[in-house]
Chains A and B, each alone.
Chain A
Amino acid sequence: MGRLLFIAPLVVFLLLGAYFAIGLTRDPSHIPSALIDKPLPAFDLPAIEGYDRGLSSNDLGGKIALINFFGSWCVSCVIEHPVLMEIAAKEDVLLVGIDWKDKPGDGARWLERRGDPYALIGDDADGRTALDFGITGAPETFIIDRNGRIRYRYQGPITEDVWRDIINPLLGQLKRDGGGDA
């Protein structure tokens, strides 16, 4: 009993150490979204400069969709942009964009220079819609199922690895789940 008490602090220290060591490997900026499996927040955003149509929550029309928050000011958006262009060109998924807190015209110019991967774009200049989505930074991408529910949120740029290992498998699963149109 005496010896057990003697080593108890060491055991406690090691347990705490292990606990914190695991904690350190986790990225605290990746916060689980509170909106998983909840319906898409209702929004109706105007078009960005030079575009005819904006984006509203009704535009997804029961399709599986990716909603991507981006901005011309957002550095990591440049990283994912080529991947988004690939997705738009080759993949069977509706990709829409929300231009988050850009000055008028900046988002449109950015897309003109790099190419526009989005089927539709909404202008969230004051960032209110972003708050409804629980956004923590750009880029951020939401996967919406056919019933208009948020199924997944990815924080940070969609690299080819992220597309191959996370997003695409999830989309495949949603497509197989069927229900509604194809």
Chain B
Amino acid sequence: MRKFFTLLVLALIALTPAMAVEPDELLDDPAMEERAREISKQLRCVVCQSQSIDDSNAPLAKDMRLLVRERLLKGDSDDQVIAFLVERYGDYILLKPPVQSNTIFLWAAPIIIFLLAGVMAVLYLLRMRRLDDEMAD
């Protein structure tokens, strides 16, 4: 039993995401640091593309984290910082694609598929009931 708990704890430790942010990057102001972390989580590391720059240990991600903090210190709003990077790297830098003309299908697809499936399910059920009625007759 004890062994089981040890294993469980070890497994949970292994599951906690590794922090890539290094102590020397941290801002003195905790509120601003929190904003920097939130922004970093939304930005894609262009080297290891399924990670955010907050998660990535790539040197380029570190440079971007420093840039984010530098812009915040200069008084940029969160949106301005993100726009600054989008200007240079394109929408690709955003982990969450923005809703715009070339991504509308991406965003609308789940709803369209859900509605289509719903219509088909209703049609199917109606037909089943009709068959049942015919059998009962």
CB within 8 Å of B: which residues of A?
Answer: 5, 28-29, 31-35, 41, 101, 126-128, 130-137
Give Cα distance in the complex from A130 to B85, angstroms: 12
B88 touches A137 (CB 8 A): no
A34 touches B59 (CB 8 A): no
A34 partner residues in chain B, CB cutoff 8 A: 86-92
Q: How many A-B residue pairs have CB under 8 A?
A: 45
Give Cα distance in the complex from A131 to B89, angstroms: 8
Whether, in the assembled complex, B46 has its beta carbon less than 8 Å from a beta carbon of chain A, the answer is yes
Q: A29-B49, A136-B46, A136-B60 known; A128 and B67 CB under 8 Å? A: yes
Q: Chain A residue with minimal CB distance to B92? A: A31
Which label, helix, strand, loop or mixed, suits the secondary structure of the A interface?
loop
B25 to chain A, nearest CB (A): 13
B88 touches A127 (CB 8 A): no
Kindly list the 6 A-B residue pairs having the minimum CB-CB distance in the complex, ordered from nearest.
A34-B90, A136-B46, A134-B88, A127-B63, A134-B89, A31-B92
B87 partner residues in chain A, CB cutoff 8 A: 34
B49 to chain A, nearest CB (A): 6
Give Cα distance in the complex from A172 to B67, angstroms: 37
Whether, in the assembled complex, B64 has its beta carbon less than 8 Å from a beta carbon of chain A, the answer is yes
B64 to chain A, nearest CB (A): 7
Q: Chain B residue with minimal CB distance to A35? A: B88
Whether, in the assembled complex, B128 has its beta carbon less than 8 Å from a beta carbon of chain A, the answer is no
CB-CB contacts of B48-88 with A at 8 A, as 1s and 0s? 01000000000110011001000000000000000000111
Please list 12 pairs of residues, one from A and one from B, whose beta carbons are closer than 8 Å in the complex, sorted by A's number.
A28-B49, A31-B92, A33-B90, A101-B63, A127-B63, A128-B67, A131-B67, A132-B88, A134-B89, A134-B90, A136-B46, A137-B60
- The listed residue (B88, B91, B92) touching A131 by CB distance below 8 A is B88
B46 touches A31 (CB 8 A): yes
Whether, in the assembled complex, B47 has its beta carbon less than 8 Å from a beta carbon of chain A, the answer is yes
Further contacts, 19 of them, CB under 8 A, given A130-B60, A136-B46, A136-B60: A31-B46, A32-B90, A32-B92, A34-B87, A34-B90, A34-B92, A41-B88, A126-B63, A127-B60, A127-B63, A128-B63, A128-B67, A131-B63, A131-B64, A131-B67, A131-B88, A134-B90, A135-B60, A137-B47
